[in-house]
Structure 1
Amino acid sequence: MRKLIMWNVVTLDGYFEGEKNWDLSFHELIWGNELEELSLTQLRSADMLVFGANTYKGMADYWTKAEGGDEGEVAKFMNGLPKIACSSSLKTADWKNTTIVKDAVAEIPKLKQQGNGDMFVFGSGNLSESLLKAGLFDEIRLCIAPALLGKGKLLFNSGIPYKKLKLLEARPLATGGTIVRYVPE
């Protein structure tokens, strides 16, 4: 059975995006060899990537252009792995190996039963919130960037039910960021 894993980069005050769409400038604070290796390790364990509509569009635009660039190995995984775009409004998905799912909360449990690798949800704040509320995540992985953004889009909004988590790992990075991994108890 697949594990559903959330992966996000957040600021210390909980923002995963700035005030404008795709304002991810704080990612530069934590990027380095350690995070690149973690990214590759995660992608090697993945057999499916899951995105909300907005993140899907942005990732597709970025990664389809990155394959020949500096991010070659990561781009090969991002472009080659099967992808799920969760959206009730998305009509087409041009990024190769993509299937559109209209009701993520209903479909993700079925998809978890169909494989043995990891399913990663990257970014996708609204989708992550829905999947959290439904209790579908097997693990939450965050990289905390050493910054206070003060405004933008919070990863965890109000309305998420109380859930006790067990810490699996807390690992500082040379860049000043910290990787934390939790599982629901």
Structure 2
Amino acid sequence: MGKVIFYGAISLDGYLAGLEDQLDWLFQTDTGVATTYEAFFATIDTTVMGRKTYQEAKKLMDEGPLYPETTNYVFSHTRKDPLPDATLVASDPVAFVSALKQEKNVWVVGGGSLLKPLLEADLIDEWFIQIAPVLLGEGKPLFEAGDYARRLTFVETKQMGELTELHYVRKAEQTSE
């Protein structure tokens, strides 16, 4: 059995991106010499992401291939044209990711609207959240409002230059609080 993992950076006030999907704040953040990305990525078989996340990632990669080492899925209800490096998915993300998790380690790349139903279905097994020392004031939140209250188990923190990485795993049993 695989697992579903969120790995990504947010601003100190909880945003994945600016209102227009800007990530300049992240690229202006000094990550120091070492990050956890390479070790994390070596454990991943599959990526899932929303259409906007895919489009922004492609821009950042100068339209080059996106994660050629993995199988990639992009959730979209509007885009119909084939993608060169990912498979479009218009079905329910909970059922789709649940099936992938049976055999694969799945990286939820983003964004918040894809993450919300996965959270509500309690599908996220592990979290790696890097916090950048910047306040955006507005933008695309990591956590959209939803029905997913739960407590996680702390694993560790790591300092990577100006980023602080929080690592959590799902608690084995949830109790009401």
TM-score by length of 1: 0.82
Q: Are 2:84 and 1:95 aligned?
A: yes
**What is the distance in 1 between the residues matched to 2:80 and 2:43?**
29
Residue aligning to 1:34:
34
Residue aligning to 1:164:
151
Provide closer, same or farther for how the CA distance between residues 143 and 123 of structure 1 changes in structure 2, counting only shifts above 3 A: same
Residue aligning to 2:44:
46
**What is the distance in 2 between the residues matched to 1:177 and 1:89?**
35
**What is the distance in 1 between the residues matched to 2:82 and 2:122?**
27
Contact 1:64–1:79 (Cα < 8 Å) also in 2? no
**Secondary structure of the corresponding residue to residue 79 of structure 1:** coil
Contact 1:170–1:179 (Cα < 8 Å) also in 2? yes
TM-score by length of 2: 0.86
Aligned length: 169
Q: CA RMSD in A?
A: 1.9
Contact 1:7–1:142 (Cα < 8 Å) also in 2? yes
Gaps of 5+ in 1: 68-74
Contact 1:64–1:95 (Cα < 8 Å) also in 2? no
Provide closer, same or farther for how the CA distance between residues 153 and 143 of structure 1 changes in structure 2, counting only shifts above 3 A: same
Gaps of 5+ in 2: 172-177
Shift of 1:159: 2.0
Residue aligning to 1:122:
109
Q: Are 2:80 and 1:82 aligned?
A: no
Contact 2:129–2:166 (Cα < 8 Å) also in 1? yes
- Would you tell me which structure has more helix in proportion to its own residues? 1
Provide closer, same or farther for how the CA distance between residues 93 and 6 of structure 1 changes in structure 2, counting only shifts above 3 A: farther
Contact 1:50–1:86 (Cα < 8 Å) also in 2? yes
Tell me the percent identity. 30
Which residue of 56, 59, 67 maps to 2:57? 59
**What is the distance in 1 between the residues matched to 2:31 and 2:135?**
17
Deviations 1:85-113 (Å, cap 9, x if unpaired)?
122332133232x2222221111111111
